[in-house]
Amino acid sequence: MGKLELIAGQSNPEKIDYKQISTRFDHEEGISWVLMKPESVPCFNLGLLGELQQYNRTIEGSRGNIWANGALHPLRYTVFASEVPGVFNLGGQLALFSKLIRNADRQALTHYAKMCIDSMASRIRHYDLPVVTISLVQGDALGGGFEAALTSDIIIAERGSKMGFPEILFNLFPGMGAYSFLARKVGTIQAEKIILSGKLYSAEELHELGLVDVLVDDGHGEEAVYDYVAKQSRRSNGYIGVQKARHRFNPVTYQELMDITAIWVDTALNLTEKDLKVMDRFVRSQQKLFEQTAQIQRPVAAGRNYIEPVAMAL
């Protein structure tokens, strides 16, 4: 996996070989998949963030059409998921945070935060295309991983998944969109409760809160995506209209996200050595989980007609 052919008025699309994501296109349903497979710990390292930005540019450059199987096919859905068994994404690169905070490196922290926002911005505005965005959560989505899942219109989650924001446990807060996304979905009081609790919520609990849209048994996530698409096809035009109205009524702006990341940087630089030692324990937990899952492969759903990998159309 790694190359999906996109055409934006060009007869010879460029091709990209990714290292930390894989992509595929189901031309029959118009679904573009991007699956994270980070090097080392399954968190958002700078390389992964850069590749997600690159993928987003290809989708924007497609102008809503993808070349596959000898023809152009309309893009209708994008699905954000993970190839790491049991993990969607563990969030920020805590080992890097710890180092930068100890070095009081404001510039590097700000750069990382901006990379996070830039990796989500296109998705938040639907790539300026009439597409529906879906996050498929099959495992833990923590901190920035949960924030990333919340960028989509729809979250489909398997029952065994857990999501939450543990940052308060080392005296920080999730600063790359959590408040903005949660407050718009469940209100400010519930958003602050979720953020300040440090609790990991089950997919079922989040479904009851309205944050998970579709709850399915473990191992049935990809099947649920196709079931959703099949049901959605009968009302897709109306749904996209409602989606546009919602974002016009209460948009998540780039400036809002950047302003909050500036608060996050200030807060991070105020952490004490005691706080950082707690963060270091989380770093060790991330590494341990990576070692446990590194040799496991998640099977691709059978019977689907995929076109692989992903390509630039700039």
* Domain range summary for the chain, segments of one domain joined by +: 21-307
Among 3-7, 86-90, 228-232, 306-310, which range has the highest average pLDDT? 86-90
Report the CATH fold assignment for 21-307: 2-enoyl-CoA Hydratase; Chain A, domain 1 (3.90.226)
pLDDT at 151 over 50: yes
Q: How confident is the model at residue 237 (pLDDT cuts 50, 70, 90)?
A: confident
Q: Identify the pLDDT of residue 97.
A: 97
Q: Identify the pLDDT of residue 241.
A: 86
Q: What is the residue-wise DSSP string for the chain?
A: -----B-SS-SS------SSEEEEEETTTTEEEEEE--SSSSSB-HHHHHHHHHHHHHHHHTTTEEEETTEEEE--EEEEEE-STEEEE--B-HHHHHHHHHTT-HHHHHHHHHHHHHHHHHHHTGGGSS-EEEEEE-EEEETHHHHHHHTSSEEEEETT-EEE-GGGGGT---TTTHHHHHHHHH-HHHHHHHHHH-PEEEHHHHHHHTS-SEEE-TT-HHHHHHHHHHHHTTSHHHHHHHHHHHHHHS---HHHHHHHHHHHHHHHHT--HHHHHHHHHHHHHHHHHHHHHTT--PPPPTT--EE-------
User: Over pLDDT 90: what percentage of the chain?
Assistant: 75
Q: Identify the pLDDT of residue 95.
A: 94
Q: How confident is the model at residue 68 (pLDDT cuts 50, 70, 90)?
A: confident
Q: Identify the pLDDT of residue 294.
A: 61
With 0.75 as the threshold, say if the pTM is over it.
yes
Q: Identify the pLDDT of residue 293.
A: 65
Q: How confident is the model at residue 239 (pLDDT cuts 50, 70, 90)?
A: confident
Q: Identify the pLDDT of residue 22.
A: 94
Q: Identify the pLDDT of residue 26.
A: 94
Which of the pair, 8 or 76, is modelled with greater confidence?
Answer: 76
Q: Identify the pLDDT of residue 253.
A: 95
Q: How confident is the model at residue 13 (pLDDT cuts 50, 70, 90)?
A: very low
